[in-house]
Amino acid sequence: MSGVSGMLEGRRASRGRLITLEGIEGAGKSTVAVALREALESRGIEVCLTREPGGTPLAERVRALVLGHGEEPLAPQAELLLMFAARRIHVDNLIRPALERGQWVLCDRFTDATRAYQGGGRGMPADFIETLAGAVHPDVNPDLTLLLDLPVALGLSRAAGRRGVPDRFESEDVAFFERVRARYLELGRAQARFAVIDASRPLATVTADAVAALGRVLQA
Ligand code: TMP
């Protein structure tokens, strides 16, 4: 076995990579995710594109609970635990099996969203979030995280243009999203697995930068 076919065989036999996409509302994650999938597939890599909260039928039911405006109050801690409950289901039933088959998983949000929204936005303690992350997915962590960063006002105006009834997060005020963005940027600065991409530029430019950032994991 040699050349390209040898490389592909090697890739299939080894564990896949987990690539996550993060950012506030209106950052363009969904469009970028589709472009990344195409870029990976064009290199012969099998891709599983998924999202959080959700990604499996059961985890999508948890998503509906946590995003919907229910009849009862949902304390920040309950919201945090529901995010991790959905994540545990998703990791066990979809992400880990896909990685073990050698597929690359492209996930629209993962635990950094919890760090940013429940940690930064809601003020839940970072050490509690890390304890839960360590218990829920000790063996499954992103190889690369693309943070699509843009000013809150721009993100919210883009998101408002395309949505129906705002969900529990979309109903939050600007100050909430400023805290979320600030926490994302802190994480992006602190950890080498992040590529921070300026998402205020035209989507084609953002997408090109995101595809270029894949080079880090393609060469690894
Ligand atoms: P989406 O609109 O990008 O699909 O994300 C759904 C919402 O859920 C979004 O407002 C961010 C929020 N969220 C959290 O608050 N914590 C999390 O851990 C995740 C995965 C999402």
CATH code for the domain in which residue 51 is found: 3.40.50.300
Neighbours of 214 (CB within 10 A): 20
Nearest CA-CA partner of 174 in 154, 157, 153, 160: 153
Q: Which residues line ligand 1 (CB under 6 A)?
A: 51-53, 67, 83, 109, 113-114, 117-118, 169
For residue 35, give its domain range. 3-218
- Token pair 């009834």 in the structure block, residue: 165
Q: What is the DSSP-derived secondary structure letter of residue 44?
A: T
pLDDT one-digit tens code per residue, 134-186: 999 999 999 999 999 999 999 999 998 877 888 999 999 999 999 999 999 99
Ligand 1 atom 15, closest CA: 117
- What gap in Å lies between CA 95 and CA 89, rounded to an integer? 9
pLDDT one-digit tens code per residue, 39-79: 999 999 999 999 999 999 999 999 999 999 988 999 999 99
pTM over 0.85: yes
Q: Residue 125 — φ and ψ, nearest 5°?
A: -65, 135
Give me the number of domains the chain comprises: 1
Strands (E), 52-113: 104-108
**152 and 211 Cβ atoms separated by less than 8 Å:** no
From 51, 52, 129, 181, mutation site for ligand 1 pocket: most ligand atoms within 8 A of C-beta: 52
Ligand 1 atom 2, closest CA: 25
Give the chain's radius of gyration (CA, Å).
17
From 62, 128, 169, mutation site for ligand 1 pocket: most ligand atoms within 8 A of C-beta: 169
Q: Is 116 helix (H, G, I), strand (E, B) or coil?
A: helix
